[in-house]
Amino acid sequence: MIHRISMLELRENFCIYARFDDGVQVVYDMRDDISSLPSFQDLETIPGLFLSGKLDKSRTCIEWNEYIDVPSHVLYEYGTRVSLSA
């Protein structure tokens, strides 16, 4: 199943809030990715890069640059589910 993101919010603490077309809402913490993946370290070291991420046209991937992206299924599977009030 393809999980399309209907709403995206990048937060100051390197967390991603996403709502999917099926209503599922998650918060995904990028800090582990940033500390363990060398190419993701730019998200922390380049001022403003993390908050500049954009959803691609298919709504299935968040992209920052040609080296850094996170597919929607990763957020869906590994993000922390949140209630409708988030």
Give the Å distances, CA to CA, from 7 to 42, 53, 86.
Answer: 24, 13, 12
pTM equals 0.91
Q: What is the pLDDT of residue 85?
A: 58
Q: How far apart are CA 13 and CA 22, in angstroms?
A: 26
Residue 86 has pLDDT above 60, yes or no: no
Which of 3.20.20.100, 3.30.2020.10, 3.90.1150.10, 3.10.129.10 is the CATH number of 5-81?
Answer: 3.30.2020.10
The better pLDDT of the pair 84, 47 is held by 47
- Domain residues of the chain, as ranges? 5-81
Per-residue pLDDT, averaged over 7-15, amounts to: 97
Lowest-pLDDT range, 46-50, 51-55, 75-79, 81-85? 81-85
